[in-house]
Structure 1
Amino acid sequence: MAAMTALTTLCPPPGQAMDIHWATVEANLGTPLPQDYKQLADRYGPGVFNDYVHVYHPHGVTEYVDLTGPMPGRIRAQLRKDHKQGTHPVPYDPETLFACAGTGNGEYLFWITDPAGDPDRWRIAVNEARGPGWFTYDGTLTAFLAAVLGGRIRVPLFAPDLAEASARFAPARPALRKPVPFSDARPVDSGTIRSWARARGYDVPPRGRIPLEVREAWERRAPKG
């Protein structure tokens, strides 16, 4: 992809590409993901661009940057509330917005998941951290990062000096967690897990597979939210 070539030229990846099991990730999320994002996550791993943009990753080292963790669901719940109460104008149906990154200033980046079945056509939306503003980019997440870090576009909601320094990527630490198959988890009533997870802010579907992050948290009984 031209956008990936532009990004890796501008900001070289930190090391060897990862080998992410995307079929499992997409099954857990219940949605296909854009091809450019899968290449981005494989090439760079979890981490932060220019000490500012944290792209959510299936191997995120904390729940706050984990694509399969509770953050996308929590953010969507807040958007639903804002949309219903008119707190801030949300220019898109909250159900079509999937949080895929965040910034050090508190903005969120979203995929506009329309059309739902064609993720390579998803665009990017950014909301203002402490205000009503939104910014829309008609392209992929990788193209957006290359354009912003390369100074070809300016997002009014972002820090004004974001592209002034040379583009850089800092890998997250500690070492990555590897996902485990559902068969490794001990049998348990799924309704109990769903009730436990919803009480802690996880976005859990009413039926079907329970996301891996929820299963892992249930095994640890780690309180979230």
Structure 2
Amino acid sequence: MTGLNDLTRICPPPDQATAIHWDRIEADLGMPLPQDYKELADRYGPGTFNDYLRFFHPHGVTHYVTLTGPAPGRIRAQLRKDYDQDTHPVPYEPDTLFACGATDNGEYLFWITDPATEPDLWHIAVNEARGPGWFTYEGNATAFLVAVLGRQPQVPLFPPSFAEGPAYFTPSRPPLWKPPPFSDAQPVDTGAVRSWARANGYDVPSRGRIPPEIREAWERTTSGE
């Protein structure tokens, strides 16, 4: 809890904590989640830090900011395309990157999910919004927030004004309009399938075609059959 204690000291959380059924969330995702992130999401709920940076939350108010929504899969699919076609440099194997947050400027935050079965060892990577830059923080999500809100380090992809003045958190409010739903015809997030397969004892290659029996088992699990 040390990281969370440090964060609440410099950035007061809402008065009321959020109740989250983490077993269901991890089952939906097909992978475990870092303990620090669970504590962070429980204590702060959905919202933004300094009206700029947010971590996706299981109770996000739209699909675009929900941890279990389609956004992480869509983002990883685009990274896979960039990686395979060498469109933009991606410093990590895309299947190890899980989008866990974003900024109002369009940067994405990722967990580097390596090793896949030890989420408390995952680090944070940030992808530049409209460019090829990447920034890696060798610590967890809560430690990252403590560091960047205190400008230690200062993330070069973020505007200098991001951490000026006292840190504050703004809880999300339901939107007055409903955003259009994601298309159902989105590519399957192969990284999620591989993570689920490894967590359930399947021998799955890190790249290339996923064996059909693994894909079918994953589809049966995620569809609730």
Normalised by the length of structure 1, the TM-score is 0.81
Match of 1:10 in 2: 10
Amino acid at match of 2:97: L
Q: What do the CA deviations read for 1:28-79 (whole angstroms, capped 9, x no partner)?
A: 0000000000000000000010010021000100011000000000000000
Q: Over the residues paired in the alignment, what is the CA RMSD in angstroms?
A: 1.9
Amino acid at match of 1:199: A
Contact 1:29–1:211, Cα closer than 8 Å, also in 2? no
Match of 2:123 in 1: 123
Contact 1:70–1:201, Cα closer than 8 Å, also in 2? no
Match of 2:60 in 1: 60
Q: What do the CA deviations read for 1:157-197 (whole angstroms, capped 9, x no partner)?
A: 1111111121000000129xxxxxxxxxxxxxxxxxxxx97
Match of 1:185 in 2: none
**Residues of 1 paired with 2:223 and 2:42: CA distance?**
21
Equivalences for residues 16-31 of structure 1 within 5 A: 16-31=16-31
**Residues of 1 paired with 2:20 and 2:105: CA distance?**
29
1:199 corresponds to 2:185: yes
Match of 2:210 in 1: none
**Residues of 2 paired with 1:18 and 1:82: CA distance?**
37
Match of 2:89 in 1: 89
Equivalences for residues 35-74 of structure 1 within 5 A: 35-74=35-74
**Residues of 2 paired with 1:151 and 1:102: CA distance?**
18
Match of 2:160 in 1: 160
Find the partner of 1:210 among 209, 219, 222.
Answer: 222
Shift of 1:210: 2.5
Shift of 1:209: 2.6
**Residues of 2 paired with 1:200 and 1:91: CA distance?**
24
Q: What do the CA deviations read for 1:119-174 (whole angstroms, capped 9, x no partner)?
A: 00000000111111100000000000111011221000111111112100000012
3-state DSSP class of the match of 2:163?
coil
Amino acid at match of 2:154: R
**Residues of 2 paired with 1:92 and 1:119: CA distance?**
17
3-state DSSP class of the match of 1:14?
coil
3-state DSSP class of the match of 2:162?
coil
Match of 1:132 in 2: 132
Contact 2:101–2:109, Cα closer than 8 Å, also in 1? yes
**Residues of 2 paired with 1:71 and 1:129: CA distance?**
15
**Residues of 1 paired with 2:148 and 2:105: CA distance?**
16
**Residues of 2 paired with 1:62 and 1:164: CA distance?**
28
Aligned residues: 192
3-state DSSP class of the match of 1:161?
helix
**Contiguous gaps of at least 5 residues in structure 2:** 176-181, 194-214
Normalised by the length of structure 2, the TM-score is 0.81
